[in-house]
Structure 1
């Protein structure tokens, strides 16, 4: 899920406090006039150019933002990112994976979560940095720094164009994570500079890690974050923590401290989870495309998960984080399509793996996940549960071992199964 991009979330206050480089949330609201915010931007920008390694081409505008203004902005961005009924179909797809409850209103959930978290944001369409009126005064500098980095990124690469012209859910998550991670590292460096009064190198900063996510999510200060389904919460936290770890490792391995775009722009969450697959030679994913089904089936929605969301899928179904991580590792690409026949839906999911062992490990984990969700009686290559059935087939795609899964209601076959292939031009 990618609607959180370019937001400075409230959980940063906890993170900065935990790293001993800034205050925790709470305290007096800033309520600063625009003129004071503009003065702070002008004061911070020269130092931030140094810590972000991006020269400013102009000084971004900054304004205060009310809760109502932010809510309107979030609704507009959701409609832009998920036009028409696509968010409803995404909800249905995640429900098919068992990742969202049946009664969820994903649109409302996202808006409520982001309203709880966002204390600042950058709008590239206006080239304006916004600071929430109720932002804690002690956090204003940190969120200005964070959003200023996004403004500088936009001056160099056009953020909206970069994201919206990128095909694939997982690739977009990776790109947005790199952008958020870049802002996180620059913000940390600036906060350490404020504390010590002297410049700090990236080697001196504590390395952030996605493993910090459970502690942030478990806090009682943010009920929307804590109660959000994992498929919503975990990618949000990963964008800041996993993205920051990637930028820190990039800069430690490349003394020139290049920004995380151009040749260092990640193409998958796999490259952020296993940073050596980008920093020590790019391991690009295999992009898959699935054909439309034959009548009477029709396509409702098509997308991909990626290593991060596959891991979340197994964490939810297996209740074993180590097994989930192992089952998702070795991912080299995937695609799924949600298809419908009358009122019934079926899920067709193809995955590609680095090795036969990785494919088999995924397949066995999927069998366990299916059994956990539906119960299991097995006949040949078919899995039969209380409500659903699934066929699981080993095959090859793009010269790599692959697995095809077709989940459908009991007694309803998908025949012929829509075929998959490597996307042309890849």
Structure 2
């Protein structure tokens, strides 16, 4: 999926006191082996300046399908398209064919078949997202997950919030189930297409053809982000290489972004966005390192053994070395509390190191930078001597409070006997060491404090957030060695019913 970094980045940098979104320029370039067909030269006009540039007009078609050629078009040939007045159907076909050829040339992989491209307005895209139905139990589970991160309160529809985020930030996507690409543009009949957006979605289709992405287990947010470390990491790295060739080898002969296709409004809540953005930030750097060390063949091999956790993408040295711990959450609920189970889904959630980091960073935004559990200077990776974010890994998802993660699981509980359907949860995490667990608890207590929690007299490791605060619940935090268990309930007295033994009297 092509996500618009500028939306979140602008918000981040406004709060951070900076003024610019990340620039496209960079001093880093990665050479890709190319086979260029014979070409002539033509003179191009740009305003009043005349420049001599090498352009392919129309070389001979190959006798068989080769890398860098698709549906009659070479990756570097000039096509008769005027992007200023939008693209009609025949022009769109030409652009898609040439973009496919360019993706092949950059990534050194061959398309097996052409992929349909559909254009949607942003309003149509938003409507399609809002019309999606979610089973009630999954809706409740998702609400509790974001409540546990202190991002979305339990009375707010978290699915709707995420839908609004996507409606503002997504520039296009590839649907594996429908095997088609959707690009968002305000003009459907003659869209002014962003070629980089198109190239990424074409590459996702190519990934699916070559590596069968639907075979991946992405049943939790943690597993989804982990696999996106290679899926979106490779996609955004290819984007970068594609952009470099647009600016250099292809002499600017690429369709420029459609200024009207962006968001007309901001994000509904930056918290879920921060979690989901992690593979877009860390993934390209993860893939770039592998590519530079072993070429595209080494990157292809990662698809056979994709990252097992966000930890392995945040810390590439742990890829293939540090497998998440295997553990469960024993059900110790009593007095009418029952564990919520989902049909066809795991009976637990997991947000991983990326989700935990986002929880610690989130207070920075609603507090307008006044509360920094993680200092902003540690989160924003700025170019040296500049107020621009780095091209790769613009956000740092590494902190002392979340490093050392070895696994987390969230179990959701409901009490149907209550006057209102109350919820609670047990969030268990395992860490590489006792020190890592202690550091996580230290950070978590700061999150509690930020949200108004007060320690409960006469109870061990128990906190209560007052009724006039957004997340007005009770919390029990227990750390034993490398394991941390957090119990949540509507009141202190209910903590031991959600999990027997929680919040014992001193």
Work out whether the TM-score is over 0.5.
yes
Structure number with the higher helix fraction is: 1
TM-score, scaled relative to structure 1: 0.77
Deviation at 1:418, TM superposition (A): 7.0
What does 1:223-302 align with in structure 2 at a 5 Å threshold? Answer: 224-225=265-266, 227-255=267-295, 256-259=297-300, 261-278=302-319, 281-292=320-331, 293-300=333-340, 302=348
1:150 is matched with which residue? Answer: 204
Change (3 A) 1:288 1:146: same
Cα offsets for 1:71-118 (capped at 9, x unmatched): 454356x54xx5444123312332243221455333332333222223
Deviation at 1:391, TM superposition (A): 2.9
**Range that drifts further, 357-366 or 230-239:** 230-239
Gaps of 5+ in 1: 1-5, 22-27, 200-220, 420-426
2:103 is matched with which residue? Answer: 48
Distance in 1, Cα, partners of 2:22 & 2:92: 23
User: 2:287–2:299: 8 Å Cα contact kept in structure 1?
Assistant: no
Say whether 1:117 aligns with 2:169. Answer: yes
Say whether 1:403 aligns with 2:487. Answer: no
Say whether 1:307 aligns with 2:353. Answer: yes
Distance in 2, Cα, partners of 1:296 & 1:263: 45
User: 1:29–1:133: 8 Å Cα contact kept in structure 2?
Assistant: no
Distance in 2, Cα, partners of 1:247 & 1:30: 37
1:356 is matched with which residue? Answer: 434
User: 2:488–2:495: 8 Å Cα contact kept in structure 1?
Assistant: no
**Range that drifts further, 335-344 or 28-37:** 28-37
What SS does structure 2 have at the residue aligned with 1:258?
helix
Change (3 A) 1:67 1:384: closer
Considering only aligned residues, what root-mean-square deviation do their CA atoms show, in Å? 3.3
Deviation at 1:357, TM superposition (A): 0.9
Distance in 1, Cα, partners of 2:146 & 2:340: 13
Say whether 1:385 aligns with 2:464. Answer: yes
Deviation at 1:353, TM superposition (A): 0.4
Distance in 2, Cα, partners of 1:353 & 1:102: 28
Deviation at 1:309, TM superposition (A): 0.8
User: 1:395–1:402: 8 Å Cα contact kept in structure 2?
Assistant: yes
2:401 is matched with which residue? Answer: 327
Cα offsets for 1:225-269 (capped at 9, x unmatched): 4x4433212123323222212111221222345237434511111
Distance in 2, Cα, partners of 1:411 & 1:261: 49
Change (3 A) 1:31 1:235: farther
TM-score, scaled relative to structure 2: 0.66
What SS does structure 2 have at the residue aligned with 1:267?
coil
Deviation at 1:358, TM superposition (A): 0.5
What does 1:123-202 align with in structure 2 at a 5 Å threshold? Answer: 123-134=175-186, 140-162=194-216, 165-197=217-249
Say whether 1:98 aligns with 2:150. Answer: yes
Distance in 2, Cα, partners of 1:412 & 1:246: 44
What does 1:13-28 align with in structure 2 at a 5 Å threshold? Answer: 18-20=23-25
Distance in 1, Cα, partners of 2:220 & 2:95: 38
**Range that drifts further, 307-316 or 105-114:** 105-114
Distance in 2, Cα, partners of 1:300 & 1:106: 17
Deviation at 1:375, TM superposition (A): 2.1
Distance in 1, Cα, partners of 2:87 & 2:232: 25
